A and B are shown apart, each in its own frame.
Chain A
Amino acid sequence: MANFLVWVVWLLAAGACIGTGLRVVTASNPFSSALSLIGNLASLAVLYLLASGEFVAAAQVLVYAGAVMVMFLFVIAYLGGRADAPWAGGTRLIQTASVISAVALLAVTFVALMLNAGGRLSDEEEVTRAFGSPAEMGRLFLTDHLLAFEITSVVLLVAAVGGVVLAMRSRAEALLDAGEAHT
């Protein structure tokens, strides 16, 4: 019974995942794209939970669906109507080619999966309850993966500074605007 319930939740989450993913790509309004991506991230968090990645699921909701998507929504709101860019690019040939290449990629990965499913991919290791728990993640981050942890923090800092510098008005522009305001 419990197994059946897990399957139901898994199927719902997977369906929501794919549906919202398609909606992100096909919606013409950037707001609905961004909101669908939030749904996508939330349903992915459910899948992480079912694969015993508790901490990753929590971080997904907090960092992605919380912080990153709010930043996205702010920028879309700031751009206003200018964000409503035309739908697809290139000639019809290029559009068809890009869809075909995406489908071909999917086919290749599915064939690779089918060839390996059932054998090595299906016998999971037994894990303890601590697997994926915040305590265990914290221990790993501060012992085995300390360097990766520190590098990640530096990358985030550099990106934050870079984002501010990119979006900042240059001094020349500010002077130009001030001059126009005077005359």
Chain B
Amino acid sequence: MMGPDIPWYLAIAAILFSIGVAGVLLRRSPLIVLLSLEIMLNSANLAFVGFSRLFGEMDGQVFALAVMAVAASEVCVGLGLIVAMARRNLALDGVLLTELRG
């Protein structure tokens, strides 16, 4: 195979996943949390594509496309929730949204 071996792809996937985790844990804005979630899903996709190339099976790429569809649905529902929060004049702030806290 030309270019870098599969472990290089996996390393990038691992770095991206950690960046996404840091974003989800650190940021307060639900919008940025959603964006960080997208980064995590995409890093999983990169690992899927890399492994699919490693084993020479295309099932990994099929799964990557399924993950893409699920990510699109997740964005749809998440943005719907954010718009609903904005409609009800709730603060768009993960720290202040404590209504469901037991």
Which residues of A are at the interface with B, using a C-beta cutoff of 8 A?
A: 2-3, 6-7, 9-10, 14, 17-18, 21-22, 24-25, 30, 33-34, 37, 40-41, 44, 47-48, 50-53, 55-56, 59-60, 63-64, 67-68, 71-72, 75-76, 78-79, 82-90, 95, 98-99, 101-103, 105-106, 109-110, 113, 116-118, 121-122, 124-127, 131-132, 136-137, 140-141, 144-145, 148, 152-153, 155-156, 158-160, 162-167, 169, 173
Contact = CB atoms under 8 A, between A and B. Distances in A.
B28 A85 contact: yes
Contact of A85 (B14, B32, B66, B87): B32
Contacts of B52: 51, 53
Nearest to A132: B61
B26 interface: yes
Contacts of A102: 18-19, 21-22, 25
Contact of A14 (B5, B7, B12, B81): B12
Interface residues of B, number: 75
Contacts of A122: 5-7
Contacts, number: 269
B42 A162 contact: no
Contact of B58 (A75, A84, A136): A136
B18 A155 contact: no
B54 A101 contact: no
Contacts of A71: 75-76, 79
A95 B45 CA distance: 28
